[in-house]
Amino acid sequence: MGFINYLIDSRAQIFSLLLEHVQLTAIAVGMAVLVGVPLGILICYIKKASKPVLGVANVIQAVPSMALLGFAIPILGIGTIPAVVVVVLYSLLPIIKNTFAGIQGINPEMVEAAQGIGMSRFQVLHKVQIPQALPVIMAGVRISAVTAVGLMTMAAFIGGGGLGFLVFSGIRTVDNYQITAGALPACLLALLVDFLFSVIEKLVTPISLQDTGHKNPRKARKTQKAILGVTAVILAGLFLWNGVSSAISNSRAGETITVGGKDFTEQVILCHMVSDLIEENTDLTVKRSPQLGGAQVCMSAIEKGEIDLFVDYTGTCYADTLGYTPISDVEEVYQTVVKDFDEKYDLKVLNQMAFNNTYTLAVKPETAEEYNLKTLSDLSKVSKNLVISPTLEFTKRIDCLPGLKETYNMNFKKVIAMDSSPRYIALMNNESDAVDAFSTDGLLKKFGLVVLEDDKNFFPPYYAVPVIRSDLLAAHPELEELLTQLGDTLTEDVMIDLNYQVDEEGKDPQTVAKDYLVAQGLI
């Protein structure tokens, strides 16, 4: 019943994300067909090109999708474009191979006969080869389309929308309802796409070649055409409705800015909180892009103008972005970040918020009791017996595990890096003994973990700070006062409670953010 209630409460969001997913998939598959079919035809006529083209397509197919997306981000930025491009590249191989195989598999005598009656090469291709090869070509398109539905979930990882938003949100908050609400429609959509393309396969296959078992094949074809017609009308209606709604919304909106955020609970809450605050107190319209990944993705996005504002942390800016050796002096870190961001990136760093979301390490109570762990120095003495499962980002940054090992002389038995909330699941399943965490994580409270004291003050201060494009702040100086008012209310206890509402109580981050602003009288 809980899942059914979640579906009912979130039906509008799920439908909206489903529609986004359909649009993105349709665009990607359409572009793959426009590129793949001509390439398949080309290598039929230029035989020397067949091995290089198929070789490149095979190599692309072999590269992990997230790696390919990572390569695309620096070039194409964030949002729908890199996601669509990656899915197009992954969809090419079946289409190219099937087009090539379909045309190559045609009886040579049929081609000779067509040439014998005076057909040109183009006429042979257009009237003989493509019609005969269409069933095989459509089989390749069918495979690509079904695969594209699943691959497109990664669009949400970089703010591209789609059903992946629910999947990533659910993984981050350990919410199986959300994961299922994203995965189930994607699965049903894949089955629907497979069915529709199977109908198209039958329609393009000559009746004489079909083994339908139907007494009246012509009647069956009429039924198939009707199914496709109804589907096309429904999709066209949905896309038109979505387009009209967007046009109406845009016509009413003033200047639009984009607020971004990283891919964990606190950042999603802050993204919605900042967006609501700005929309309610200014004439600006805000586009929200939460869950964009780590600090470098957000920095790249704001430098390229793909987002205009996001909340970062002073320690991250100081050590990870600027590359300085971590220090614990709060004021020096802040002033250095303000100065360097202005000079190097033309970005303004506003006043620090009231909470310091510093890094820490956490263990289960029974582990703390077994090894008498209270501080990171205690942990270092027994680290050779323990497994740590940190986030991927934590293993690379100088202000994280590399520096931590050097400062505390830690040498863990094994480091199993993973992303976001699954590390907590690994800890609770006894697959690891320690995790990295932020001091305001709601999941610390949810799982009742013991936070170890940083007794050597290794971790730099991580006070939250709004980072905004200089031109936007110059045009709207009122934003600084608004964000300062918000930041002054956000203490560490407040953020822990807000994160807990999402991570443990299952509340929607946008609702949590808005309720807090209302309670504080900020909107």
Q: Mean pLDDT over residues 377-389, rounded?
A: 94
Between the alpha carbon of residue 18 and those of residues 13, 149, 241, the distances in Å are 8, 11, 14
pLDDT band at 398 (very low <50, low <70, confident <90, very high): confident
Poorest-pLDDT segment among 138-142, 202-206, 257-261: 202-206
Q: Mean pLDDT over residues 66-73, rounded?
A: 76
Q: Mean pLDDT over residues 306-335, rounded?
A: 91
**Whole-number average pLDDT of the chain:** 85
- What per-residue confidence (pLDDT) applies to 269? 94
Alpha helices (H) in 383-505, listed in sequence order: 401-408, 422-428, 442-447, 470-475, 478-489, 492-503
Q: Mean pLDDT over residues 7-35, rounded?
A: 86
Do 263 and 170 touch, CB atoms closer than 8 A? no
Segment 422-447, tens digit of pLDDT: 888 889 899 999 999 888 888 888 88
State yes or no: pLDDT of 203 exceeds 90: no
Do 418 and 426 touch, CB atoms closer than 8 A? yes
- CA–CA separation, 228 vs 215, rounded Å? 21
Poorest-pLDDT segment among 49-53, 202-206, 299-303, 423-427: 202-206
* pLDDT, greater one: 254 or 354: 354
* pLDDT, greater one: 213 or 218: 218
In terms of average pLDDT, the best of 60-74, 156-170, 204-218, 470-484 is: 470-484
Between the alpha carbon of residue 502 and those of residues 9, 146, 445, 484, the distances in Å are 15, 33, 12, 24
pLDDT band at 112 (very low <50, low <70, confident <90, very high): confident
Q: Count Cα atoms within 13 angstroms, Cβ side, for 30.
A: 6
Poorest-pLDDT segment among 68-72, 157-161, 273-277, 380-384: 157-161
pLDDT band at 176 (very low <50, low <70, confident <90, very high): confident
- CA–CA separation, 266 vs 462, rounded Å? 13
- CA–CA separation, 433 vs 60, rounded Å? 38
* Cβ neighbours of residue 457 closer than 8 Å, sequence gap 6 or more: 328
State yes or no: pLDDT of 214 exceeds 60: no
Which has the closest alpha carbon to 468: 237, 242, 311, 278?
A: 311
pLDDT band at 468 (very low <50, low <70, confident <90, very high): very high
Share of the chain above pLDDT 70, in %: 88
* Cβ neighbours of residue 272 closer than 8 Å, sequence gap 6 or more: 288, 290, 509, 510, 513, 514
pTM, whole model, 2 decimals? 0.67
- CA–CA separation, 209 vs 73, rounded Å? 46
Poorest-pLDDT segment among 378-382, 416-420, 427-431, 514-518: 416-420
Task: Report which DSSP code applies to 452.
Answer: P
Q: Mean pLDDT over residues 335-355, rounded?
A: 95
Do 290 and 272 touch, CB atoms closer than 8 A? yes
* pLDDT, greater one: 221 or 328: 328
- Tokens, residue 335: 């002033």
- What per-residue confidence (pLDDT) applies to 247? 54
pLDDT band at 210 (very low <50, low <70, confident <90, very high): low
Q: Using CA of residue 293, residue 295, residue 296, residue 301, what is the dihedral sign?
A: positive
- What per-residue confidence (pLDDT) applies to 217? 60
- What per-residue confidence (pLDDT) applies to 277? 95
Q: Mean pLDDT over residues 226-248, rounded?
A: 63
pLDDT band at 208 (very low <50, low <70, confident <90, very high): low
* Cβ neighbours of residue 474 closer than 8 Å, sequence gap 6 or more: none
State yes or no: pLDDT of 237 exceeds 80: no
* pLDDT, greater one: 355 or 296: 355
Q: Mean pLDDT over residues 103-115, rounded?
A: 82
pLDDT band at 488 (very low <50, low <70, confident <90, very high): very high
Q: Mean pLDDT over residues 495-499, rounded?
A: 91
Q: What share of the chain is helix, strand, coil (3-state, %, to 5)?
A: 65, 10, 25
- What per-residue confidence (pLDDT) applies to 414? 92
State yes or no: pLDDT of 353 exceeds 80: yes
